[in-house]
Structure formats: structure tokens, C-alpha cells
């Protein structure tokens, strides 16, 4: 697809507006998506037809000293994920420490259960079978 007339000028004007915090058509982020919106051109105009302007934009953003929004979001996500990993590792360490105690408890309970089953299988001498007496049969 060929560039539309005035496309390069609109892109340059969009770059100027974004770098001067004067966005009209975008959210003002220092990204290619925002630049395409600001210049009112398709994104592929920057990624395929005007790669020189795209590279110039990135250089100007870098020289401007501003960190692109994408990088800020990614860094925040990385920080969040590192905290999550640290919490998961701490929890895993605790669970690993709990395993030997739980194994011992299961072993003790297994032995107690085995003893109780053995006691149930043996006849009890202290149990007396009650038979209904002559007075109880009529009721």
C-alpha cells in the first residue's frame, strides 16, 4: 500500500505533539501505537513504510529522557512477578519443612489405627450378652 499524501508530515507533527505532551488524538503514550493514532495513520505506516520515522521517534524519546510507557509497564510487571515468585518460594520452603512432621504424624496415626483394629478383632471378656428376661418378653 502506498503512502497517502501528507502522511510523513502528519507523523512528524504527531511526534512533536507527543514529545511536548500535547496529544490530540491519542492517550499521549510514547509508543508507536500512540504515534500512529496521533498522526492518524495506520500503524503499519510506521512499521513498514516509514521505518526511518519510527526509528527517529524512538531516538527522540530516548534523547527526551522519557521512558516509554511500554517499558514502564513491563518493569512494574517484572517487579510484581518477582514479589510473587519470592512469596511462592517462601511458601514452598515452609511446605517442604512441614513434610517430615506430617509423615511422622501419618505414621503414628497408622500405628494407632492398626492397634485399634487388632483390639476390635479380639473377643472381649468383659462384655456380657444380655438376654431378655421373662418379664421383658411381653413388652
Q: Which residue has the cell 530516548?
A: 62
Spell out the domain ranges in the chain: 7-64
Instruction: Name the grid cell of 65.
Output: 529522557
pLDDT in tens, 6-19: 899 999 999 999 98
Instruction: Name the grid cell of 70.
Output: 511500554
CA neighbor of 10 nearest in space, from 41, 47, 46, 44:
41
- Whole-model pTM: value is 0.50
Write the secondary structure of 23-79 as one string of H (helix), E (strand) and C (coil): CCCCCCCCCHHHHHHHHCCCHHHHHHHCHHHHHHHHHHHHHHCCCCHHHHHHHHHHH
Rounded to whole angstroms, the Cα distance separating 10 from 39 reads 5
pLDDT in tens, 11-50: 999 999 998 889 899 888 888 999 999 999 999 999 999 9
Amino acid at each position: 500500500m502506498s503512502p497517502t499524501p501528507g502522511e510523513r508530515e502528519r507523523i512528524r507533527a504527531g511526534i512533536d505533539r507527543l514529545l511536548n505532551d500535547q496529544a490530540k488524538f491519542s492517550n499521549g503514550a510514547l509508543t508507536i501505537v500512540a504515534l500512529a493514532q496521533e498522526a492518524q495513520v495506520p500503524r503499519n505506516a510506521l512499521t513498514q513504510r516509514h521505518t526511518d520515522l519510527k526509528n527517529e521517534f524512538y531516538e527522540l524519546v530516548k534523547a527526551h529522557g522519557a521512558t516509554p510507557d511500554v517499558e514502564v509497564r513491563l518493569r512494574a510487571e517484572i517487579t510484581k512477578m518477582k514479589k510473587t515468585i519470592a512469596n511462592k518460594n517462601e511458601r514452598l520452603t515452609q511446605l517442604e519443612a512441614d513434610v517430615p512432621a506430617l509423615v511422622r504424624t501419618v505414621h503414628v496415626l497408622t500405628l494407632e489405627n492398626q492397634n485399634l483394629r487388632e483390639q476390635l478383632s479380639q473377643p472381649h471378656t468383659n462384655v456380657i450378652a444380655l438376654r431378655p428376661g421373662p418379664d421383658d418378653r411381653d413388652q
